[in-house]
Amino acid sequence: MAIYHTTPLLLHLLLNSIPNITALALNINLHRRSFISGAVISTAVIASPVLASDTSIYRSPDFSITLPSSFYSLPRKAKTGVQFAGGNVEKVEIVAVEKFPLGDLLKLEGVMDNNLSSGSIKGWEDVATASKLVELLKKYREKDSKSATGTKSTIDKESLSLSQDGKLLSYTITTNVPVQKPDLLFDSTGEFEIVRLSRGNAYLDPASLNIIVLYVSANRETWKSDSETLNSVIEQFRLF
């Protein structure tokens, strides 16, 4: 018996609630492992969206992103919000690009748009400290999240990095993902928990006061085994 997750469902999860694709893919992998070991639970099959070509470069008016052939590519035509989503479902590797006004971020702290002036802001340091900014970026990303209850995310303080021109803020967020069948996970991986590492690159445009954030997320072990692929996505990301 098979459970079929259609392309519209996958598109909805990727585009409207990025963290949820993690839970979906993790459950798929656990279903498959259980079937192989003889457990009486169903396998899951995903109908794939369009697969990126060998030289896949997606270009928007604001940025370009280069993906390996194993990644799905799901661009969006939206002025703000999620601009692009993709990833490797088998490896639970997720890539997303989001764009939003600086004012929306600062509203989380009660700062209104009319208090902002592009002429007075040259970089992130003119807005707040790096640690405070990452806290706000994390809060902004999670405000509409529908991920599982019990998920705990923390900021890796040692990962905070500000570019020389002050316009790029880099950071890593660690997330402990709840597992429904920890014993099954342990039999397959030797681990009772799943730890996700999400690396964010937040770019501030002082002229428009818009923020573009590139998120690259994968399980901790995947970052070790497939770091070259994941880092390549980060390094080849370009703003226009």
- Domains in the chain, start-ordered, CATH in brackets? 2-239 (3.40.1000.10)
**pLDDT for the residue 142:** 87
> What's this model's pTM, rounded to 2 decimal places?
0.76
**pLDDT for the residue 232:** 94
Average pLDDT by stretches of 10, the chain with 240 residues:
34 42 43 32 35 70 93 90 94 95 90 68 93 95 67 91 97 88 71 87 95 96 93 95
Write the secondary structure of the chain as one string of H (helix), E (strand) and C (coil): CEEEECHHHHHHHHHHCHHHHHHHHHHHHHHHHHHHCCCCCCEEEECCCCECCCCEEEECCCEEEEECCCCEEEECCCCCEEEEEEEECCCCEEEEEEEEEHHHHHHHHCCCHHHCCHHHCCCHHHCCCHHHHHHHHHHHHHCCCCCCCCCEEEECHHHCEECCCCCEEEEEEEEEECCCCHHHHHHHHCCCCEEEEEEEEEEEECCCCEEEEEEEEEEHHHHHHCHHHHHHHHHCCEEC
**pLDDT for the residue 33:** 36
**pLDDT for the residue 113:** 62
